[in-house]
Amino acid sequence: MNNFSYTQASTAKEATNIRKDAKDAAFIAGGTTLLDLMKADIEQHPQLVDINMLPFRGIELNDGSLRIGAMERMSDVGENALVLQQFPAVSEALLLSASPQLRNMASIGGNLMQRTRCGYFRDTAFPCNKRNPGSGCPAQQGDNRNLAILGGSQACIATNAGDLAVALAALDAVVLLENAKGKQRRVPLLEFHVLPGTTPQRETIIEADELIVAVLVPATAQARKSHYVKVRDRASYAFALVSAAVGLDVQGGQIRAARIALGGVGTKPWRAQEAEKLLVGKAATEENFRAAAAAAVRGAQPREHNRFKVEMVQKTIVRALQELMA
């Protein structure tokens, strides 16, 4: 860990202006990701800009969308009555994340910015294209049990390990950003994270001088009837081996709209649109769920140790849909 200075920002402008000029500076919210990365010498920031005082607060329904302020804590959002009732997958994804202590500290904005748990990335003694571009990706031939089967490249196969982003990906959420000029833009969650391609060090489209202000989730029928299932190596406090967020709008026994997003398998929160299409207009039967699940993993490229994910994620999709209909 290096020496750093610490500044508390009282306005968004103050914070973004610092980053505009000093790209090495970092915003700090809950610090649960950032401090780990700095202690392990994976990131070095000469300056930390504390954004906890910013008024990016509130969990409310506005113009047909749930608006979650970026500074809200995971636990507060997960336990919020509105979220619980109308966006159950969001609540479940949050409450199945990390530990109570971490959820009490961690913010929604920080959660979307969390970095991969790839063990090579987390240890500076290893080569890793994401941490040290051009140094190689030992995971391809190495320990890749936790890594992605979808969206990988020659350069990187690390998963996006977050849970919340999977639920948000399923429910067509939008990320609200604001830059140093005070200009805001809305980016669909699905476009917020990017594929590794040849530049795995680049994980999101956020610019250095931009802050996440809020996350917006349309209040739809499929959001109200949504569900998140996470499979992991122990009962709590572990990242997903695989996970699935699903939402259905079923009327008169027929699926009108379907949403499926996957975690633990993709290099970014993975939306399975082909699978969704297969469900629309069909009955909510196990057979149809299975067919959809099979479509969701088409094109998967498993490696030596993560082959199991191909089957496990299909079963997880089916499980999530079944539980949703139960």
Ligand X SMILES: Cc1cc2nc3c(=O)[nH]c(=O)nc-3n(C[C@H](O)[C@H](O)[C@H](O)COP(=O)(O)OP(=O)(O)OC[C@H]3O[C@@H](n4cnc5c(N)ncnc54)[C@H](O)[C@@H]3O)c2cc1C
Q: Which residues bind ligand X (CB under 6 A)?
A: 26-34, 36, 51, 70, 74, 97-98, 102, 105-107, 109-111, 113-114, 162-164, 211-212, 239
Asked if 184 and 177 touch (Cβ cutoff 8 Å), the reply is yes
Q: How many residues bind ligand SF4 (CB under 6 A)?
A: 15
**The three-state (H, E, C) secondary structure of 200-243, written as one string:** CCCCECCCCCCEEEEEEEECCHHHHCEEEEEECCCCCCCCCCEE
Is residue 120 at the binding interface for ligand SF4, with CB under 6 A as the rule?
yes
Of 172 and 210, which has the nearer Cβ to ligand X?
Answer: 210
Which of other proteins, ligand X, ligand SF4, none is residue 117 near (CB under 5 to 8 Å by kind)? other proteins
Stretch that binds other proteins, among 61-69, 251-259, 279-287, 305-313 (CB under 8 A): 305-313
Stretch that binds ligand SF4, among 48-56, 86-94, 124-132, 293-301 (CB under 6 A): 124-132
Measured CA to CA, the distance from residue 34 to residue 233 in angstroms comes to: 25
Helix intervals (H) in 40-162: 74-78, 81-86, 88-95, 100-105, 108-112
Which of ligand SF4, other proteins, ligand X, none is residue 143 near (CB under 5 to 8 Å by kind)? other proteins
Strands 47-50 and 5-8: parallel
Is residue 204 at the binding interface for ligand SF4, with CB under 6 A as the rule?
no
One residue of 103, 130, 259, 309 binding ligand SF4 per CB under 6 A? 130
| SS3 assignment, position 11 | coil
Of 156 and 190, which has the nearer Cβ to other proteins?
Answer: 156
Is residue 27 at the binding interface for ligand SF4, with CB under 6 A as the rule?
no
Contacts of other proteins in 41-100 (CB under 8 A): 41
Look at the block and give the residue holding tokens 């968004």.
Answer: 12
Measured CA to CA, the distance from residue 34 to residue 158 in angstroms comes to: 18
Is residue 259 at the binding interface for ligand SF4, with CB under 6 A as the rule?
no
Measured CA to CA, the distance from residue 72 to residue 32 in angstroms comes to: 14
CA-to-CA dists, residue 185 to 6, 167, 206, 208, angstroms: 28, 21, 10, 14
Q: How far is the CB of 156 from ligand SF4 (least distance, A)?
A: 3
Stretch that binds other proteins, among 123-131, 247-255, 276-284, 288-296 (CB under 8 A): 123-131
Is residue 150 at the binding interface for ligand SF4, with CB under 6 A as the rule?
no
Q: Show the CA angle centred on residue 30, arms to residues 60 and 27, nearest 5°.
A: 95
Distance of CA 8 to the CA centre of its chain: 27
Q: Which residue ranges make up the site for ligand SF4 (CB under 6 A)?
A: 116, 118, 120-121, 128-130, 137-139, 147, 156-158, 200
